[in-house]
Structure 1
Amino acid sequence: MAKNTGRRRTSGGPSSKPTRKSLWFRAIRSLMIWGLALALLGGLFLAAAVTFTMRELPDFSALKSSQNGQMIVVRARDGSELVSLGPSYGKWLGYDQIPQIMKDAMISVEDRRFRDHYGVDPIGIVRSVMVRYEAGRWKQGASTITQQLARNIFLNNARTFGRKAREMVLALALERKFSKDQILELYLNKVYFGGGAYGIDAASRKFFGHPATELSTGEAAIIAGLVKAPSNYSPTADVQASIARGNVVLGTMADNGVITQSEADGTDLTKVKLAKEKGQNSVRYFTDWALPQLDMLLPETNEPIEVWTTLDPRMQEAATAAIIANAPKGAQGALVSLDNDGAVLALVGGTDYINSNYNRATSAERQPGSAWKLFVYLAALEAGYTPSDPVVDEPVTIDGWSPHNSGRKYAGQIDIRSAFAYSKNTIAAQLGNEVGFGTVASMARRFGITTPINTQPAMVLGTSEVRLIDMTRAFAAVSAGGTSVEPYGITKVTTTDGEVLYQHKSVRGQVLVPHYVAAGITDLLQSAVATGTGRAAQIGRPVAGKTGTTSSNKDGWFLGFSSGVTTGVWMGRDDAKAVPGLSGGHAPARAFADFMKVAVAKRPVEEFDTKLQLPEWQLEPDDEYLQGNPDDYYYVDENGNLVHPGSGSGDDAPIYEDGTMGPGPGPGAAMVPDYGNPPAANDDFLDRATGRAPANDPGLRPGQGLAPKIVTPPAPGATRTPAPAATRTPTPVPNY
């Protein structure tokens, strides 16, 4: 039986191994597959979102009738309407009614590829990113006209990726639902151009006084330039900025070929005539200051509201007339008037709001000159001086600084009242050095000065810049008997149906200085108007006030009060150049008088309370008077610790504020334990406690009325005290 043996076939070709794909190749292939899948999924999602959004969009007629912005009616204190702010819409212009030059200008500057994209411009996005990379910051936007339209109608201006994504979806949907001409028509009739004007017709009427159908090339360029930043390029806010921006638009139009370069060069924007706005000159300074406060007073709302203010129309008109009539030629003027509770009765920030809306009453910082002496004399009165105390008006040098009086004349021995009334600079310098320049700065802060204050000796003459509203607030606090006053302009906010959204609540002011200090400074202020530099401010009833004039007549001030109304006036040039003849006692004082005659005409005459009722501790015999108020004295021990009366028991060592006891350096100010009737103090203790120095003390300065010609200021950080009473002539306390 034959055995069948099989043979296994082998391949006759060469052997080969399977090629392994590299890990890198597989990763790239997977990435491409997943990327394509995600892109496809994203595209499907975007298409679905755009389709759904397009179906939900209102039709063209509904979009035409929709409006943007919040209507705000501003009312005076008597309920009359001062101004209506918010959206202003002109006549709706169809696409064929809009001048071609206006359409070309807007497309050139806002979206030169408007006719070529589908609502979102990828090329514009890439270009914006490249500019961002080269400049290091975003300098060029990529929003198309369609995107801007979507944002203006449906969204807000929040800078978030979510809002940007919705904006793109809406833009794509708008492009699918409406034609390019319809989109441009909607845009030009609804875009915001500033000043409350929505649409080119409202802007044309506002800025040029005629319909948009009559726009010239120059006017169209100015309007097209406003979209980027309406508040910055508005012709009514900054003419030069609007012209510069308009020239940029003309250059862009020439680059895009819609006008020739010769046409661009031949368009003189300085010859474009602007329309004169009416009925806003005296009110808009006030509304510009008051209305931004709504952001803090109200929750976010877009519903129409009515804002009831403190402004008195009769007083506002008088304030405007007083500034215009008295401001020197080429100079500006500002006025703020406050009621006794801080309500702003009138506010004028310049001679003409249309030509310049810069608010000099609330924003400008200028040197107050001698009006600053209010704080010098307040500090001196609080330190123990009285209006009748004698002082010597003579040349003086403080740390190398030698102030001089107007006319370089010196009166010799006079009293505090006369020194203030005639604004003697040498006396203010001596008093400031006596009480301490830091003390004067602290007093100014206490009375509401918010700008930086220097503490160099010359500060007593008003070298620190201040705002008019702050200075007026300080004088109002004096009128209120030394109690703080907070200016406010809004009393309540309601809906158009009368629902109260906000109601102002009066807050009792803080006591800033004792009553006798307020009485004393009122005495001085009244004398300055009755017999001193402020005589031009007299109005036939009691007035207290102070003039202020800076070097080279750059600034003139008058601030004062009568019958519960406090008013501050400033005049000068915006460029801080000298104004020939300007001084606080002339034009500003006359403007004050012209206004106040109207402001207080219907108020009863009020006599000032200038009766000095000094505290009992200031009326003790001389030895006790020197010690001041026994509840207030303190001294600094040899370890640098502040020592003042306290309570405690146990050891004789001082008790520190953190509860630990001496002797030796402590972590805080030491407090002397109270053991009932303490033993008699030695002379050294009394010298330190009262600020007296031994007769041979080289740092001793003569007191009031005996000021030397050269005065050395105390070392920084040293404790300052009033002039020792022994060097003054004791006088009975009169009734002022």
Structure 2
Amino acid sequence: MSWFKRIFLFLVLCGVLGLGALAALYLWVAPTLPDVDSLKTVQLQTPMRIYSKDGALLSQFGEKRRIPVRYGDVPQPLIDAFLATEDARFFEHKGVDPIGVIRAAVVLVTTGRKAQGASTITMQVARNFFLSREKTYIRKVKEIFLALKIEQLLSKEEILELYLNRSFLGNRAYGVGAAAQVYYGKDVAQLTLAQMAMIAGLPQAPSAANPIRNPQRAFTRRNVVLGRMLDVGFISQQQFDDTRVQPITARYHGAEIELDAPYVAEMARDIMVARYGEDAAYTGGYQVYTSIETTAQRQAQQALRDNLYSYDRRHGYRGPIASLWQPQPAADADPANIDSPTADATVDAAAGTPWERDRILQTLADTKPVQDLLPAVVMDTDAKQAMLLMADGSDAVLSWEGMNWGREFITDTRQGAAPKQASDILSEGDLIWVRQQPERLMLAQEPQVSSALVALNPGDGAVRALVGGYNFQHSQYNRVTQAKRQLGSNIKPFIYSAALEQGYTLATLVNNAPINQWDRSQGTAWRPKNSPDVYTGPTRVRRGLGQSVNVMAVRTLRHVGINGAIAQLQKFGFERNDLPRNESLALGSAVATPMDVARGFATFANGGFKVEPYVIERIENSFGQVLYQAQPRIACAECEQALKAQPQQFSTDIQAQCPIPASQLAPRILSPQVAFLIKDTLSSVIWGGGDWSKGTGWNGTAWRAAQLIKRRDIGGKTGTTNESRDTWFSGFGPGIVATSWVGFDDHGRQLGRTSWDNYGPRNQITGAESGAKTAGPAWNQFMNQALKGVPTVPMTPPEGVVTARIDLASGKLSRRNDYTSRFEYFVAGTEPTEYADNQQQEQPVFEQETEELF
């Protein structure tokens, strides 16, 4: 008994000393332990994701890939896989597993190695959030104490949720949500058992043993996880046998971009960084929903690209990307007459020796596609076709119809002779771009010219589509918001709106006669010209704006006054410093961005209100809570009238009619009557007027839009600057306003002109580039697509607008009901009171727009 007592006392003493040592150890370590309470409000570093209005992913910003998932959204087999592998007794222990500790101690004593760390999932959470990964005893002690505190603070489910979202799983993927996307392109709920086991095996060596870097090692590790699941009883023998033989299916998946809109994504990124700071924006898990509509965005991108390709084709072929080797000369050819390689071409050292197929394919693999342009190498040419090798190793035939546009580009204003055979365009060894069209493969080239297209909702300014250039990867310069270019005739509707407010009507006659004004300061005469250079004497305002008559715009500006015109333009949002204080203002010497112009035209479309464009509709945190909701000012004539009628009751009775708060009503900058008159006249820019059968018919400068879109509820305005350096088309349809711009980023480079192409379409564009011919086709194509299925909305005049039949020649009232007259709209009280004495036939200015300067 004495020995028993001694042993008992010894054990008690050891226990007391152990507890004392443990207490002392805790007191020593406690001051260095972090506060685990922060886990209650932990913010996982989650990348920012940018979406379209309808939920398509545009882009993702942030170094760490993480897609947070709630515990309840994680499939049970995935949870089981992690528990079986990392901590099978997780739901039984209190943060530290005594059995695991004893097992690790035995291994350490018997082998002298730290082969097993005895870390529970709770301890791993403590390490991941608060400690380093160094293998030291003091870190293990801290880990244990932190785990005990975490278990007191959080539930088992909350701990496991943190673990599943925090763990690094290779390839910049943090958490199971990101791993499922990176390795399989799936949501966690879509994973198979084999894929779940693969992910659960990654925490041991996420960088070295992931299935992309080391598939065989990952395969072995996956089967270890399956074996553990079988041992613990989470899967059956049959499931184990069926799953363990399944092949590795993982491959790298980048962010699943569903809508390629990089200029929009970059705009949203800039706004978020300005709002939250760079670190928080990239790691706060913000979900940013833009106002962009997926269908409209794709239509805008396609319209812009198709238009630039068309411009490039009519100006001629600039040659291949490179010449990989020179074609072998014919047997009877004179070597002295063989052309030498061009200076900028990549040529094989042994000229005339075709490359091996593998070498060609490697070159094609290294030549990344640009938008929808694909690289190809010319292997041979026949009389009317070329044989190509594509990057995927397939052979293709480029038909004559796919390349016959390729006359030589000489300058922006000159093209070479029409080719007669394939060898006039291409040579064996040429590395070229091709573009797959529905009917055939087409020879193509990367455009040098630039463009922008933006579409807004005129009711509230929401940006529905925005394309800032042809290729964001080559140029991040967003021409929609950053490129201030001369407006040309796009400015004229704003000038005429000021004139209508100062007594002009659409029937007012303005003298369409040459201007010759001496400029003392310059010692020269200013002689603005029409395009074409035709003058018809007194002409009605509707026709002057519809046909963009330059001298009439200058005389209208004189009526308004420089100060009055600048004040009017400022109301639309144009900046004063961008508006020259001289009469060239009437011809578009002012500068503005396409976004500025679209905002201005929205006022005509919405009945006179100024709306502000916006691109971010709402911001959510990583769990879907709304942090910001756009509150745009809305154009609403009905609400405006209701507010005027009963301002004191707006929040009750009136709000039932129109739920827009008074504070959210957009400011009116133009009377509804004047806004309607300009809008209706802009329709004449497209549809023209008069009676062609009687000789009074006339085309507006945008008659091509009428040929394609064929609806009367559209309107717009062309614009071309001097020497065709900037071309514009801006206009509207029901619920949409859009601006298209085309020009070179180099302000000194002209868009040039083209001659007739023997192989071009019958309606091909020739002559000087202009707003109608260069920017207009993109607008036409986009609006034709955007308005499909949209019901026609008649242009109904607002209260205060009356009609009167006028004489076309004089603008006075007419008693005739024939081709010499028409009904015209007037602001009530401004209609003419005199009748025309002599009914004269109106002479056409021109039948088709051939060239438009300013």
TM-score by length of 2: 0.43
TM-score by length of 1: 0.49
